[in-house]
Chain A
Amino acid sequence: MSRRLLLSAAAATALALTLAGCVPNNAGSATSIDVAIADDACDVSAAETAAGAVTFSLTNSGSDVNEFEILAEDKLRIVGEKENVTPGQTVTYTAQLGPGTYYTACKFQLIGAPVGLAEFTVTGESIAASEDEQQLIDEATANYISYIKSQTGELVPAVQEFVDAYVAGDDEKARGLFATARVPYERIEPTAEAFGDLDPMIDYREVDAVAEGLDWTGFHRIEKDLWPPAADALNSDGTSALLDWTPSTPEQRAEFGQKLVDDVQSLYDLVYADDFQVSLDDISNGAIGLLDEVAVGKISGEEDWWSHTDLYDFAANVQGAEVAFGNVEDIAAGTGDDGTALVAQISDEFAALEALLAEYGSLDGGFVSYDTVTDEQRAELSDRVNALAEPLSQLTATVLGAAG
């Protein structure tokens, strides 16, 4: 099915989720679909249903709190979720789903990668999106918060595994985990940046930390230990790589490792706090900000100076931007023909950029080392980023026009 249809279906879902709390459990025409939740399983009794109000009956037979998620076709953007399903509990949950491809999954203890990810197909006629802008806006922000939580939830255990290898001195394993552990972070980086001092501690490059007189910690401190520079290597600012730097001792590794784990946990606690909020322009500006990250830091290869894993960050930034865009897409499109045209152009440019990125690999299968990407290829990537960033830079004004 076309992307357009899918996304309007997703918006309709969002609408339904708001209503879920005040709609009778048997609102759907379809019969209830059972979801058997265990600590390591998330079995949905049907893989296909008709469009409309879809009711899920969730039973948690596991040992701790769990969560049920419905994800968009990109397996990233959350279109609906039921949090805090406690052990032994059975709850019903109704979602208004338009036709399209979705994925269902659970999240044990509300942390880590989705468990039991399974394709879920909805057939039939699409459902009209809500005319109520405020409702769409409320749902866009609610779903975006869910997404930030889910990514942070994936980040915490990924970082723990990475740090464990680093602290244990298993550098080969740690090198293999470095790029992928960063992915959830890079998808939501503007959120972490909004918390002021967290991003500098988690993700500052050496040259920036030195320039600002900060203690240099986080991913990139560890990166330099894992890919130690040659004696004549230079930092990205042209200074000697060995200036004020020596390989970390085992004690320092333990210290830097724990610091990263703690900082990532702080991020998790902040976004799971009851008072964590995002506004509509936070979402659209987040999309723009992620593209700026790509244009400034990733294209030049300055981000992952020693590991050359920049394309992982690049791809994660683009995914994060696309999810943010997907959350406000229907609001933008709802502003009229100009908004519809803007949405169509942004969608096309995302597809073009992702197609180009795919020539270099994928997050699942791995990307080529960025130092093998020629200047001409970097220029081509840069052209596509620019082509997307220009229309994307108009997104905030468009969605705020709707809100205003």
Chain B
Amino acid sequence: MAEQDRRDDSAANPAAESFSAPGTPSERVSELPSEQVTDSAERPTGISRRGLFGLIGVGAAGVAVGGAGGVGITAAVATSNGVDTARVYPFEGLHQAGIVTPAQDRLHFAVYDLDASVTRDDLIELFKDWSYAAARMTRGLEVSESGATGGSDYAPPDDTGEALDLPASGLTITFGFGPSLFTTSDGTDRFGLAAKQPSSLQPLPRFAGDALEPGATGGDLCIQACADDPQVAVHAIRNLSRIAFGRASIRWSQLGFGRTSSTSTSQVTARNLFGFKDGTANVKAEQTETVDTQVWVQRGDDVDWMTGGSYLVARKIRMIIESWDRQQLLEQERVIGRSKREGAPLSGGTEFTEMDFDATGAAGQPLIDEAAHVRLAHPSANGGAQLLRRGYNYVNGNDSLGRLDAGLFFMSYQRDPEQFITVQRSLSRDALNEYIKHVGSGIFAIPPGIENGGWIGEGLFA
């Protein structure tokens, strides 16, 4: 049966093999053969019977992506906003994609709790199923070989279909493990994983100003789906959730509609809903040394299976934007510590000029306020700790008072959660706190990437 590739046009496009153009050097994916997924004893050869039924018998075909139309091909389809929507980021690599990958425009983030009936074997099967589906969807393929229309007329299709005809859109799917996967809050070791829990993977401490809602906090597993087309990201979470029915269900989730961080020097700095550039000083993929010291877990840091992984902190930060919008421009700039249009430090210069925290004005007052957000978040205030931020703006309609339920879905990746904790404690005096509250929170161990045919969590369960 012919592979159902919704990027049919790419096969005919000779402008192939250029996926690495935007640059993800530290992923070093080129070291791994990603043209074709081959069979091996351990690899998932399809979604389990429990995951999707139409896949039965897919067997050896696996995620074989046919010939010239295979992985890594980037059809030169540029949309009006200049985003190359046919871009494909391989699911396989030393590190998981979706971390230093240039931040896509859209997010669908979902946190899952495992069903009480799930066993260790069920959990392994779930990760194999998810890895199989993710490897396909990130290539722009339907979730299984029979896909949206290729199965029985009398069975529901495996693939839900809303991404048919859409290109891969730079989709990345990134999986993470919450502390409760290893040890529940009452100390239960459900899956024999307690001994493998990284010592740094613990529920976050309470921070000043936390207003966390249980319905947007914690969780056993997370999936971050990022894409340049929102429908592609939603399709990924929807299908992965469906595969998990009976094994895991969504505890909370969030859509993000505009990246607020750039994770590559190839990207311009985006703005958050306060109207300010966000992530100017972010860790960038091209800064390979910084990425290695600040983002990737190194051998010897902690448990071995996390080597090449990272830790994700997700914080749902509600913005009281109606109050913010009533602040004078000068006050807004004082709170942030940067100029609004250019994003330059108030100590002078242009966007990428270094901060001068000692600079003072005519009256001797610091040009960058003592409580300015940039001062307190800066590595110099935090023992050199840096975060790779990957946040998205969100609007969830409105609240009961008619205010926009809007804010920043903050995500940061770091080598050690302590980096985030240090920065967040420093921000307890942040002038910005008057306009924000943290309403959701999660921390997740992000395992390293997988080889072709591997599955997420292989190292953990080894």
A and B interact physically: yes
Listed in ascending order, the chain A residues whose CB lies under 8 Å from chain B are 281, 338, 341-342, 345, 349, 352, 379, 382-384, 386-391, 393-394, 396-398, 400-401
Stretch at the interface among B14-22, B152-160, B358-366: B152-160
Cβ–Cβ contact A338 & B56, under 8 A: yes
Beyond known contacts A338-B49, A397-B155, A400-B152: 11 more, CB 8 A cutoff: A338-B56, A338-B57, A352-B117, A383-B115, A390-B245, A391-B50, A393-B156, A394-B155, A396-B154, A397-B151, A397-B153
C-alpha spacing A76/B202, complex, angstroms: 51
CA distance A56 to B249 in the complex (A): 51
Q: Which residues of A contact B153 (CB under 8 A)?
A: 397
- Does B242 touch A at the CB level, under 8 Å? yes
CB distance from B111 to the nearest CB of A (A): 14
Most buried by A among B57, B117, B154: B154
Can you give 24 contacting A-B residue pairs, CB < 8 Å? A281-B154, A338-B57, A342-B53, A345-B50, A379-B249, A382-B249, A383-B115, A383-B245, A383-B249, A384-B246, A386-B245, A386-B249, A387-B115, A387-B246, A387-B247, A389-B245, A390-B242, A390-B246, A391-B53, A394-B53, A397-B153, A397-B154, A398-B155, A401-B152
A401 neighbours in B (Cβ, 8 Å): 152
**Which 4 interchain pairs have the tightest Cβ spacing?**
A387-B246, A397-B155, A397-B152, A397-B154
Contact B154 A400 (CB under 8 A): yes
Given contacts A383-B246, A390-B242, contact A342 B156 (CB under 8 A): no
**Inter-subunit contact B245/A393 (CB<8 Å):** no
Inside 8 A of A281's CB, which chain B residues have their CB?
154
Alpha-carbon separation in the docked complex, A387 to B126 (Å): 13
Write out the residue numbers on chain A whose beta carbons fall within 8 Å of the beta carbon of B115. Answer: 383, 387
Query: From residue B442, how far is it (CB to closest CB) to chain A in Å?
Result: 18
**B 230-257 to A, binary, CB cutoff 8 A, 1 in contact else 0:** 0000000000001001110100000000
Digit string of B89-112 for contact with A (CB within 8 Å is 1, else 0)?
000000000000000000000000
Q: Considering the chains assembled together, what is the distance between the CA atoms of A352 and B117 in angstroms?
A: 9
Query: For residue A400, which residues in chain B have a CB less than 8 angstroms away from its CB?
Result: 152, 154
By secondary structure, the B interface counts as: loop
Q: A393 touches which one: B50, B117, B155, B249 (CB < 8 A)?
A: B155
How far, in Å, is A282 (CB) from chain B's closest CB? 12
Using CB atoms, name the residue of chain B closest to A389: B245
Q: CA separation between A68 and B246, bound complex, in Å? A: 40
| Cα separation A345 to B245 with both chains bound (whole Å) | 13
User: Which residue of B has the minimal Cβ distance to A342?
Assistant: B53
Q: In B245-278, which residues have CB < 8 Å from any A CB?
A: 245-247, 249
Chain B residues near A398 (CB-CB < 8 A)? 155
Q: How many residues of B contact A (CB 8 A)?
A: 19
- Contact partners of B57 in chain A: CB under 8 A: 338
In the complex, A382 Cα to B245 Cα: how many Å? Answer: 10
Q: How far is the CA of A384 from the CA of B248 in the complex (A)?
A: 10
Least Cβ distance of B41 to chain A in Å?
20
Q: How far is the CA of A391 from the CA of B151 in the complex (A)?
A: 15
Residue of B with least CB distance to A341: B49
Q: Are B49 and A345 in contact (CB under 8 A)?
A: yes
Contact B246 A386 (CB under 8 A): yes
What 0/1 readout, one digit per residue, does chain B (171-210) give for beta carbons within 8 Å of chain A?
0000000000000000000000000000000000000000
* B152 contact set on A, CB distance < 8 A: 397, 400-401
Q: Give A388 to B247 CA distance when docked, in angstroms.
A: 11
Task: Give, as a whole number of angstroms, the nearest-CB distance from A17 to chain B.
Answer: 28
The minimal Cβ–Cβ distance linking B115 to chain A, given in whole angstroms, is 6
A307, chain B: closest CB distance, angstroms: 29
- Provide the bound-state CA to CA distance between A51 and B89, in Å: 63
CA A391 – CA B247 in complex, angstroms? Answer: 13
| Highest count of chain A CB atoms <10 Å: which of B57, B245, B247 | B245
Per the bound structure, the CA–CA distance linking A379 and B252 in Å amounts to: 12
Binary interface encoding of chain B residues 28-59 relative to chain A, with 1 for a CB under 8 A from any of its CBs, else 0: 00000000000000000000011001101100
B-chain residues with CB within 8 Å of residue A379 when the two chains form the complex: 249
> In the assembled complex, which residues on chain B have CB atoms less than 8 Å from the CB atom of A338?
49, 53, 56-57
Kindly list chain A residues whose C-beta atoms are within 8 Å of the C-beta of B117.
352
Residues of A within 8 A of B154 (CB): 281, 396-397, 400
For residue B50, which residue of chain A has the nearest CB?
A345
Give the residue name and chain of the B residue nearest to A355 (CB): B117
CB proximity of B54 to chain A, nearest CB, Å: 8
B53 to chain A, nearest CB (A): 4
CB distance from B102 to the nearest CB of A (A): 36
A398 to B153, CA, bound (A): 11
- In the complex, what distance in Å separates the CA atom of A391 from the CA atom of B242? 11
Q: Which residue of B lies closest to A401 (CB)?
A: B152
Please, which residues of chain A bring their CB within 8 A of the CB of B245?
383, 386-387, 389-390
Query: In this complex, what residue of A is CB-closest to B153?
Result: A397
> B residues within 8 A CB of A341?
49
CA distance A338 to B152 in the complex (A): 15
Chain B residue numbers with a CB within 8 Å of A393 are 155-156
Q: How far is the CB of B149 from chain A (nearest CB, A)?
A: 14
Chain B nearest CB, measured from A146 CB (Å): 25
Shortest A67–chain B CB gap in Å is: 34
What residues on A are CB-neighbors of B50 within 8 Å? 345, 391
* Pair A342/B49 contact, Cβ less than 8 Å: yes
Instruction: Kindly provide the distance from the CB of B125 to the nearest chain A CB, expressed in whole angstroms.
Output: 12
* Smallest CB separation, B212 vs chain A (Å): 17
Residue of B nearest to A391 (CB): B53
CA distance A401 to B151 in the complex (A): 12
Q: Which residues of A contact B155 (CB under 8 A)?
A: 393-394, 396-398
CA gap between A308 and B404 in the complex, in Å = 34
- Is A349 a contact of B49 with CB atoms below 8 Å? no
Least Cβ distance of A325 to chain B in Å? 15
Q: Closest Cβ of chain B: how far from A118's Cβ, in Å?
A: 35
The complex places the Cα of A382 from the Cα of B241 at a distance, in Å, of 14
8 A Cβ contacts from B119-166 to A: 151-156
Instruction: Tell me the complex Cα distance, A349–B117, Å.
Output: 11
Q: When chains A and B are docked, how far (Å) is the Cα of A341 from the Cα of B48?
A: 11
Complex Cα gap A394–B115 (Å): 22
A398 and B155 CA atoms in complex are apart in Å by: 8
User: Chain A nearest CB: distance from B30 CB in Å?
Assistant: 39
In the complex, A349→B242 CA distance in Å?
16
Shortest CB-to-CB span from A76 to chain B, Å, is 25
